[in-house]
Chain A
């Protein structure tokens, strides 16, 4: 081993990209992957109930974009050798149940769920953009670009939800608060486990 400062490192693997802040990037990619996975399942649940209604095509379109997002994070996960969250099977079920449940409240219910979730995700992406900008905008240029693009997409979904009378849902604010609380918990857990 070279004499220049190679220490008794616990981790015996080689980092794919030298010089990146591995713990921070790990968390970011893991939680974003979990988020896109969950979003996919939410739209799948909504389609299962409202697929044949008038909002079907719009939900399908938003779902397709989420599928692209998930694909991108799958690639990033392999490239940076990040471990996926162990809660994936749980988000699989929980996401579907949330989507189907909100859709059973009607078209507006589904749109309210979309608004709540997309707002949480946009805020979350904004936080990550801030973190990466503070770290080193040059080093993480590609990742920043991806997250910015996805944040804009999610914002668009949020606006579509509002356009389709999300706010007219009965108990809108209660529903929205509950869903956003759930999102915060999901983000906290997926970052860590």
Chain B
């Protein structure tokens, strides 16, 4: 039996600890917020969360909040954003989160809200990068629509999009291999996979992909392969400004373009051959018929 009050209780304890130390975040008094937490269906104030314990759900959406009340999710969001600054030094760990909480004037106990392996921090970072990428691509699309910029050919577009996204890793590149291994933990795979697929879908959408057949899948699979392999190459790259990585990326994208050209050539050749054979068969059968008539 899932105890429906477990998440709010944990949040309440966490929030209580934080609020004791913080000055800036004096919101509503503790009693009324506990009232809100223990409502049976607080549709407006409780963000929709799966009852899976104190961990934030990445599939939930923030509920509406009254003006002064900050939801637990928003608070966690702010802490994780602040924690990113300390990742180069401490890695994707509870220490980084604790340091981040400190800069917001909260107690280091705030790090207790999160998993000790830094999963939420890494997923938060990936989600933020993807959002940033979408915004950049949206802006670029607007410029093209207004006629202020040239529409890039597909291979250049894909290359630039992947490079832009991977460059966001540069400040954290030392600790990124650690993050990759955490993202591959079975617990995190649904979230990390979902973030990856939606990012790839975004890139194709802005590249102008309008396929409604199996190509939809092929294109996304190919781009996912390109992205992942380039990311791994980047981990090992020590060239100035990662130029080896971008050259690798360029080659992979060119390969993909070649493959699709070859595939369509094979198809047209195949169709031509079939037509030739059918023509030959008709000719032969006509010849037979006319010989038989004689």
Q: Which residues of A contact B (CB under 8 A)?
A: 1, 3-14, 33, 73-74, 77-78, 81, 83-84, 86, 88-89
Specify the main secondary structure of chain B where it touches its partner.
helix
B202 to chain A: which residues have CB within 8 Å? 12-13
Stretch at the interface among B72-80, B84-92, B177-185, B223-231: B72-80
By the criterion CB–CB under 8 Å, are B195 and A4 in contact? no
Of B71, B130, B217, which one neighbours A5 at CB under 8 angstroms? Answer: B71
Question: How many residues belonging to B are interface residues under a CB distance threshold of 8 Å?
Answer: 39
Would you call B201 an interface residue if the criterion is a C-beta within 8 Å of the partner chain's C-beta atoms? yes
Known: A10-B195, A12-B130, A81-B201. 10 other contacts (CB 8 A): A4-B65, A6-B62, A7-B47, A8-B58, A12-B131, A12-B198, A13-B205, A73-B212, A81-B205, A83-B216
Given A5-B62, A78-B212; A13-B198 close (CB under 8 Å): yes
Of A1, A5, A10, A73, which one neighbours B64 at CB under 8 angstroms? Answer: A5
By the criterion CB–CB under 8 Å, are A86 and B194 in contact? no
By the criterion CB–CB under 8 Å, are A33 and B212 in contact? yes
B54 to chain A: which residues have CB within 8 Å? none
Within the complex, the shortest CB–CB distance from B41 to chain A, in Å, comes to: 18
* C-alpha spacing A76/B261, complex, angstroms: 28
Specify the main secondary structure of chain A where it touches its partner.
loop
Within the complex, the shortest CB–CB distance from B265 to chain A, in Å, comes to: 20
Would you call B234 an interface residue if the criterion is a C-beta within 8 Å of the partner chain's C-beta atoms? no
Within the complex, the shortest CB–CB distance from B208 to chain A, in Å, comes to: 10
By the criterion CB–CB under 8 Å, are A14 and B127 in contact? no
By the criterion CB–CB under 8 Å, are B59 and A10 in contact? yes
Within the complex, the shortest CB–CB distance from B270 to chain A, in Å, comes to: 16
By the criterion CB–CB under 8 Å, are B127 and A12 in contact? yes
Of A8, A13, A33, which one neighbours B56 at CB under 8 angstroms? Answer: A8
